[in-house]
Amino acid sequence: MSSSYTHGTSGTTLLGDTIGANLDRAVAAWPDREALVDVETGRRWTYARFAADVDQLAYALLASGVAKGDRVGIWAVNCAEWVLVQYATARVGAIMVNINPAYRTHEVEYVLNQSGTSLLFASLRHKTSDYRAMVEEVRGRCPRLRETVYIGDPSWAGFTARGTAERGAELAARAAELSCDDPINIQYTSGTTGFPKGATLSHHNILNNGYFVGELVAYTEQDRICLPVPFYHCFGMVMGNLAATSHGACMVIPAPSFDPKATLEAVQRERCTSLYGVPTMFIAELNLPDFASYDLSTLRTGIMAGSPCPVEVMKRVVAEMHMAEVSICYGMTETSPVSLQTRIEDDLEHRTGTVGRVLPHLEVKVVDPVTGVTQPRGTTGELCTRGYSVMLGYWDDPEKTAEVIDPGRWMHTGDLAMMRDDGYVEIVGRIKDMIIRGGENIYPREIEEFLYGHPKVRDVQVVGVPHERYGEEVLACVIPHDPAAPPTLEELRGFCEGRLAHYKVPSRLRILEAFPMTVSGKVRKIELREQHSTP
């Protein structure tokens, strides 16, 4: 039997560019094509204008004394300025620090100090977040932070006005100093325990990952990509922005944060060919009362990632949203992010039963979590990945880095996976999410997929909660189709009887209106466990 190891071959070579050099190539090829649309504000950029505004901001960064390797933070919701900061910091060799817009003072203070951020770009406010007030509260406790610029405020215009074309020679000299292996981005992973860790990524990491994700969905300069996913996460800024600019495609920002109605309106108005989202976003769009009224006929592809896609949802995305070539991606921030991806010609079963096969120029294997020995195909173990996409390390934290990147440069994902004979990989769950009931290993994903078939279940998450006799028992957290007529525990158990092993059948049920989510759209199972661990 063959081992659970595979690598991605390709006739397409890796890019050796910096992000700035790659953008220059796109501008030279497609100066008049649209690069960016901010739907809410009605602003539009061609590639030529986008590059000019990126350079203007880069000149301002130089005028403000930003050196190569300096950390520049961005704490903002999705907007055109976020994208300009992304490319301008790359141009000058600064390290952009992505800060989750959901963070509050305790978290942002930690990130600013841990990264040593000296300049911060921030939104003014969004929903219940007053970013200026929070910055004012922590500023005295962040000695390295010397300036904050607010998007949509006179401080933004004042900052960009510092940049003048006389800085062109200085910018060119700076570009000549940069290597594609330089660190360019720090993304803080939402740790389930303790403070988040800053995954440090290079030009080479994220530019190539965005490029090959785009290659696998066949992007060209004709594509228009609707991006309701957050830029602060790799899904937005790498799989979205860098995939777009490396192919001359257009980035479309439907709203500052996810709104299902605004997303479909943007697809319709901007004639988008691609749509991104986590499964919960697609579910919200499909469940809009007026969903059928939107013209989505221009869509052909898109990317779904973040968590497994239920079969019924995928069927509707393909049939009703016209996304026949939709792709599933799997990855993590520490791998820039994508390691595995389905191909546009894959059938429904591969798109819902697996997370695809390895990307070009990467390696993956499935190992015994205890011994590290590569498992035979068809056997569950920990997924590991190696190649150009593996992060440089956690910022200023060699000990935590050594816990996840082994001496062979394999990144240990913490995910339980199984590699099929054809090289496609199934994600069974997180090692930490696995339920052990009376000595039986239970993978929540299997039960969730099964319960999606119940007519009263709109969405479901399964977690293990403490049990005196068995150690853990199975709790199903259900969002019903009709809140007035939710399923009972007896109905769910009856639905499972004879079709699932007895130890997998939920013994507890919670009916919920929504799941606790990260900003990137992942369900926080640890919160579900904590909130509902008592009967």
What is the pLDDT confidence band of residue 194, given thresholds at 50, 70 and 90?
low
3-state DSSP assignment of residue 511: strand
Tell whether the torsion through CA atoms of 208, 210, 212 and 214 is positive or negative: negative
Tokens read off for 291: 């969903």
CB distance 373 to 359 below 8 Å? no
Residue 195 has pLDDT above 60, yes or no: yes
Interval 211-243: pLDDT, tens = 999 999 999 999 999 999 999 999 999 999 999
Number of CB atoms found within 10 A of residue 297's CB: 11
3-state DSSP assignment of residue 317: helix
CB distance 42 to 117 below 8 Å? no
Distance in angstroms (rounded) separating the CA atoms of residues 380 and 363: 18
**Higher pLDDT among residues 125 and 470, named by residue:** 125
Distance in angstroms (rounded) separating the CA atoms of residues 469 and 437: 9
> Any idea what DSSP says for residue 308?
P
CATH topology of domain 440-531: GMP Synthetase; Chain A, domain 3 (3.30.300)
Give the distance between the most distant pair of CA atoms in the chain: 75
Tokens read off for 478: 């259900």
Distance in angstroms (rounded) separating the CA atoms of residues 308 and 430: 12
**Residue position matching structure tokens 């009916």:** 511
What is the pLDDT confidence band of residue 435, given thresholds at 50, 70 and 90?
confident
Interval 112-121: pLDDT, tens = 999 999 999 9
Number of CB atoms found within 10 A of residue 374's CB: 17
Residue closest to 84 by CA, chosen among 107, 54, 114: 54
Residue 190 has pLDDT above 70, yes or no: no
CB distance 460 to 279 below 8 Å? no
Mean pLDDT value across residues 445-471: 91
pLDDT at 308: 75
pLDDT at 255: 98
Residue closest to 91 by CA, chosen among 27, 35, 155, 134: 27
CB distance 379 to 417 below 8 Å? no
Pairing of strands 34-38, 43-46: antiparallel
What is the pLDDT confidence band of residue 193, given thresholds at 50, 70 and 90?
very low
Residue 148 has pLDDT above 60, yes or no: yes
Distances (CA, A) of 269 to 3, 37, 181: 49, 11, 39
> Any idea what DSSP says for residue 3?
B
Listed range (239-243, 259-263, 368-372, 461-465) with the worst mean pLDDT: 368-372
- What is the residue-averaged pLDDT of the chain? 94
Cβ partners under 8 Å of residue 133, min gap 6: none
CB distance 223 to 250 below 8 Å? yes
Q: Where are the domains of the chain?
A: 440-531
**Phi then psi for 108, rounded to 5 degrees?**
-70, -35
Distance in angstroms (rounded) separating the CA atoms of residues 123 and 155: 11
**CA atoms in the 13 A half-sphere facing the CB of 68:** 16
Cβ partners under 8 Å of residue 180, min gap 6: 15, 16, 17, 18, 202, 203, 204, 207
CB distance 376 to 419 below 8 Å? no
Amino acid at residue number 71: R
Residue 321 has pLDDT above 70, yes or no: yes
Residue closest to 239 by CA, chosen among 307, 332, 324: 332
CB distance 428 to 417 below 8 Å? yes
Interval 294-310: pLDDT, tens = 999 999 999 999 877 88
Distance in angstroms (rounded) separating the CA atoms of residues 465 and 378: 28
Distance in angstroms (rounded) separating the CA atoms of residues 274 and 301: 5
For the whole model, what pTM was predicted? Answer: 0.87
Give Cα 404 distance to the centre of its chain.
Answer: 19
Number of CB atoms found within 10 A of residue 295's CB: 12
pLDDT at 519: 63
**Higher pLDDT among residues 81 and 190, named by residue:** 81
Give 86-106 as a DSSP string: HHHHHHHT-EEEE--TT--HH
Distance in angstroms (rounded) separating the CA atoms of residues 252 and 179: 30
Rg (CA), the chain: 23
Residue 192 has pLDDT above 70, yes or no: no
User: What helix, strand, coil percent values describe the chain, rounded to 5?
Assistant: 35, 25, 40
Interval 80-97: pLDDT, tens = 999 999 999 999 999 999
What is the pLDDT confidence band of residue 520, given thresholds at 50, 70 and 90?
low
Distance in angstroms (rounded) separating the CA atoms of residues 531 and 535: 10
pLDDT at 432: 78
What is the pLDDT confidence band of residue 312, given thresholds at 50, 70 and 90?
confident
Distance in angstroms (rounded) separating the CA atoms of residues 15 and 240: 17
**Residue position matching structure tokens 């004012």:** 136
CB distance 234 to 85 below 8 Å? no
Mean pLDDT value across residues 270-274: 98
What is the pLDDT confidence band of residue 436, given thresholds at 50, 70 and 90?
confident
**Higher pLDDT among residues 534 and 341, named by residue:** 341
Interval 54-84: pLDDT, tens = 999 999 999 999 999 999 999 999 999 999 9
Listed range (188-192, 240-244, 320-324, 526-530) with the worst mean pLDDT: 188-192
**Residue position matching structure tokens 């977690």:** 463
Cβ partners under 8 Å of residue 30, min gap 6: 47, 221, 248
